[in-house]
Chains A and B, each alone.
Chain A
Amino acid sequence: MEQLDTDGVARSLAGGFVFHSRPRCSLTRAQERLVFWSLVGVCFGAAIGFAVLGYWLVLPFAGLEIGLLAWALETMRKRESDYETLTIDGDAVVLEWRAGRRHGRREMNRHWVQIACDCSAPGKNCRLRVRSHGCETEVGHHLSDEARLRLAATLRSKLQA
C-alpha cells in the first residue's frame, strides 16, 4: 500500500500506549459522484458526438481514461474504512485492523511480543511485523518507511519499559 495517503496518530493513555493509523479521506460520496459522473458525461458526450459523425476513435480513449479514473476513485473508496490500532495496556498488546473486507483482532502477551523490521534504512519498502507465538502480523501499512522505522523503535522501547 502506498505510504503516503496516511494519517498516523499515536498517544499515551494513562499507563498505556495506543497507535492508530488510517488513510486520509476528505472526499464525500456526493462529491465523488458529482466529479465522476460529470466527467463521464463530458468525455462520453464528446466522444459519442464525434463517433456519430464517423470519428469513432475518440471513444476507446474516453473509455480507457474513465476506466482509470474509476479505478482511482474505487481504490480510494476501498481504503476509506481501513485502520490499524495497536494498544499496549499493562501486559496486554492488542492489535486491531481492517483492510478492505478483511478485518481482525489479536491479543498478545506483552512479554512474548517481538517487533521485526526487515530493513534499517528507508527507501527499501520496509515491512514492520509484530510477532508472538509463531504468528506475525504486519503493521504500519499506512506509514512511510521513515515512520515505520520510528514506530518500530518506539514499540520496542514501550514493550521493554
Chain B
Amino acid sequence: MSDVAHAHDDHGHHAHPTGIMRWLTTTNHKDIGTLYLFFALIMLFAAGSMALLIRAELFQPGLQLMHPDFFNQLTTMHGLIMIFGVIMPAFSGFANWQVPLMLGAPDMAFPRMNNWAFWVLPVAGLMLMSSFLLPGGAVAGGWTMYPPLFIQGGISYDLTILAVHIMGLSSIMGSINIITTILNMRAPGLTLMKMPLFCWTWLITAYLLIATMPVLAGAVTMLLTDRNFGTHFFNAAGGGDPVMFQHIFWFFAHPEVYILILPAFGIVSQVIPTFARKPLFGYASMVYATASIAILSFIVWAHHMFTVGMPAAAQLFFMFSTMLIAVPTGVKVFNWVATMWKGSMTFETPMLFAIAFVCLFTIGGFSGLVLAIAPVDIQLHDTYYVVAHFHYVLVSGALFAIFAGIYYWMPKWTGHMYDETLGKWHFWLSVIGMNIVFFPMHFLGLAGMPRRIPDYALQFTEFNQIATYGAFIFGFSQLIFLAVVLKSIKGGAKAPARVWEGAEGLEWTVPSPAPYHTFETAPVVK
C-alpha cells in the first residue's frame, strides 16, 4: 500500500482523461487553475487591445479613429473585462494551483463546484465581448454602471447585467470553495498562524467576496427591473434615487478594490522572502494588517462620491477612515522592505516584479491618500489624476504581482525554467512602459483633463502623446510575456522540486512539474 500512502511521489505514471473532455469535466485543482490563468491571459490581450485603441484615439486632440460612443464602449468594456475577466480570474488561477499545494491538501474542498465556478466564466466573458455586435453596441456607461445612463441603454446593457450576475456566481462558488479548503483541509500541524501568507490573503479575499457579492447582485438586479419591469429604484422620474445606486455600488466596489489587491500582497509576500533568503519580517503583523484593511474597506465607500453632496460630518468620516487604511498598508510596505533589509538578495524576474510592485504600488497608495482629502478630491474627481491613481494600484500593483507569481511558480507548473533573459526584457519594458503611460496622467489630471472623453483641449496634447507612446511599449512588451509562457510550456531547462534556493513551503516538496494528484496522504507539518 505504499503506493497509496505516497501517491504524490509517482507522478506521470497514471493516465487521466485527455483531450477537450479533460478540460471540460476536470475537477482537478491544477487543471482548473490552468484554465483560469489562460482565460485571464486571453482576456488580458482582449482588454489590452481596447486600451491601445483608446490611447491611439487620444494621441491627438480631435476625433481620429472612432465615434465618441464607441470610445465610451471601449473604456467601459476595458474596465469591466480587466477587473472581472483578468485580475480576478488570474488570482483565482493562483488560488486553485497554489492553495491546495501550500496546505498539503489533495484538492479543493468541493472539486465539482470548482469546475462549475470556472466554466460559467467563459460564458460571461463571451456575453460581454459579443455585446459589441448587438444593435447600439456594447455598454458605454462606464464600468460603474451608474443610472440613469445604464437604465437608458440598449439590449447590451441587459446582457452585461446578466454577465455580471454570472461572474458573481462564479466568484461566490470559488470563494466558498477557497474558504472551506483553507479552513478544513490544512495538513496536520499546519495551524492558521503557520499558513503561508498567500493563503491568508486569499482567505480574507474570499471572505470579502462573500460579504459583498449579494450587494452587487442586488444592485444590478434593481437596474434590470428598472429597465424592464417598471420599477423605480434608481429612476428619479419615478421617485427613485440614482445617487443611492452609487452608495450601493461602492459599498460593494470598495471592498472589491481590496479583493483585487490582497492576493497580490500574498504573492509578493511569498516572492520577497524567497529572493531575500530571509523569513518574512513580521508575519503576524502582516496577517493583522490584511484583516484590518479588509475591515476598513467596508466603511470608506463614499470617498468615491464626495462630489454628489453629503454632510460635512460624513465627508470628514469617510476622509479620515480612508486615510486610516494607510496605516495597515504602511505596515505591509515596511515589512516587505524590512524583509529585504540585509538579505542575500538576488534579482531574478519574479523578484524584480515584486520590488517594482512595492515601489509603484506605494506611489498608487500615496495618490490615493491625496484623493482621500475631500476638498482635493472635489477638484480632482473624474480627472486623469484618478485614472493615474487606480492604474498605479491595479497595473503596477495587481498585474505586476500576477507577473511575479507566474514567473515564480511557472517552473513548478510546467516543470521547465522560463527564459530569464526574455523575462528581464519583459520586466524592464513593462516597468518603463507602464510609467510612461500612467505617470503623465497625474499632471493631466492636476491640469484638469477629464476622464472618459475622446477629445481634449490642445494644452493636454504633449502628455497624452507621451502616454500613448508608453501604452504601445507596455502593450507590445506583453507579447514577450506570451513568448516566455509558451516557451516554458514547450520546453526548457528542467526545474528541480525546490526551484528557488530560498523557497520554503509544502509546494516545493513535490516534484516539478507538480504531479496530477498531490498530497493524497497528508504531510505532517511541525
Contacts and interface: CB of A to CB of B under 8 A. Distances in A.
Asked whether A and B interact, the reply is yes
> Top 3 closest A-B pairs, CB basis?
A10-B1, A58-B218, A4-B107
B14 A62 contact: no
A55 B222 contact: yes
Interface in B10-41: 14-17, 22, 25, 27, 29
Contact of A11 (B1, B16, B213): B1
15 contacts: A2-B107, A3-B111, A5-B107, A24-B105, A24-B522, A25-B184, A54-B233, A55-B244, A58-B214, A58-B218, A58-B219, A73-B180, A76-B109, A76-B184, A146-B516
Contact of A5 (B106, B176, B225): B106
Nearest to A32: B183
A122 B221 contact: no
Main secondary structure of the interface of B (DSSP, over half): helix
- Looking at B109, B176, B186, B251, the one whose CB has the most chain A CB atoms below 10 A away is B109
A154 interface: yes
A60 B184 CA distance: 28
A35 B179 contact: yes
B27 A2 contact: yes
Contacts of A26: 183-188, 190
B62 to A, nearest CB: 42
A58 B218 CA distance: 4
A61 interface: yes
Nearest to B114: A4
Nearest to B516: A146
Nearest to B177: A72
B215 interface: yes
A27 interface: yes
Contact of B214 (A9, A24, A27, A65): A65
B3 interface: yes
Nearest to A17: B1
Chain A interface residue count: which class? 35 or more
Nearest to A63: B214
A98 B161 CA distance: 46
B482 interface: no
Interface in B242-272: 244, 248, 251
Interface string B186-215: 111010100000000000000100111111
Q: Could you say which interface size class chain B belongs to? A: 35 or more
Contact of A57 (B25, B110, B222, B251): B222
B185 A5 contact: yes
B16 A147 contact: no
A61 B219 CA distance: 10
A47 interface: yes
A31 interface: yes
Contacts of A35: 179, 183, 207
A55 B233 contact: yes
Contacts of A12: 1
Contacts of A14: none
B459 interface: no
Given A35-B179, A57-B222, A147-B4, 19 more contacts: A3-B27, A4-B106, A8-B521, A10-B2, A24-B186, A26-B183, A26-B186, A39-B207, A42-B211, A47-B214, A47-B218, A57-B233, A64-B214, A68-B172, A76-B180, A122-B15, A123-B25, A146-B16, A147-B520
A117 interface: no
B7 interface: yes
A151 B185 contact: no
A46 interface: yes
Contacts of B22: 123
Interface string B109-121: 1111000000000
B16 to A, nearest CB: 6
B108 interface: yes
Contacts of B25: 123
A43 B211 contact: yes
Contacts of B17: 122-123
A150 interface: yes
A87 to B, nearest CB: 12
A68 B209 CA distance: 14
Interface in A1-42: 2-12, 17, 19, 24-27, 31-32, 35, 39, 42
Nearest to A122: B16
B217 interface: yes
Contacts of B213: 61, 65
Contact of A50 (B15, B184, B248): B248
Contacts of A43: 210-211, 214
A2 B111 contact: yes
A4 B111 contact: yes
Contacts of B108: 4
Contact of A53 (B2, B172, B244): B244
Contacts of A92: none
Interface in A111-161: 121-123, 143-144, 146-147, 149-151, 154
A43 B306 CA distance: 25
B424 interface: no
A78 to B, nearest CB: 12
B278 interface: no
Contact of B520 (A42, A65, A122, A143): A143
Contacts of A5: 105-107, 109, 184-185
A58 B168 CA distance: 13
B106 A57 contact: no
A59 interface: yes
Given A43-B211, A47-B214, A146-B16, A72 B7 contact: no
A8 B187 CA distance: 13
Contacts of B110: 2, 72, 75
B298 interface: yes
